[in-house]
Structure 1
Amino acid sequence: GMERGIMLIRSQLEDVLKKRGVAVIQASAGEAFDPARHEAIGEVESDKPAGAVAEAVQRGYELAGRVIRPARVRLSKSDN
């Protein structure tokens, strides 16, 4: 019911943004942290290298190569 409706609206909004040139910034676990495209919001224990992206929390967006919202990520914590 309601969840399906929300997902449909989200999908339609993403389609409109894509047509207007907005691209999604996806962050992947193990990817090197890029401060120009990622916003670190914390650290977690992980099997990934220290300082690398451990988990993506929220997608980011860019328009014409300019970041309009960085992807929010948690970084892998060092064991030291």
Structure 2
Amino acid sequence: MKTATIPSIRVEPAFREKAEDVLGKEETLSAFVETAMAEAIERRTMQREFVARGLASLAQAERTGIYHAAQSIHKEAAERIAAARRKKGKE
């Protein structure tokens, strides 16, 4: 498969210097930009999926008339997190 290029962008010299200043040893600016883009793509994909799940949940609640109080959802989430932490501590 052929590779493609990302369009170049113009930035202030100070901004480029800041980016170069945080590069790891042997890391290139191109690799840094590629990593930043990959992380942004992953974050936006997760956000899109989160919103889609929320909208689906809303549609289901509207269809069924069954709603759950935020307090009970938060409590259940906190319990799951605590259980996961306990399990991790035992490993």
Point out the structure with max Rg over C-alpha: 2
TM-score by length of 2: 0.30
> Greater share of strand residues, 1 or 2?
1
Higher relative contact order (CA 8 A, sep 6+): 1
> Greater share of helix residues, 1 or 2?
2
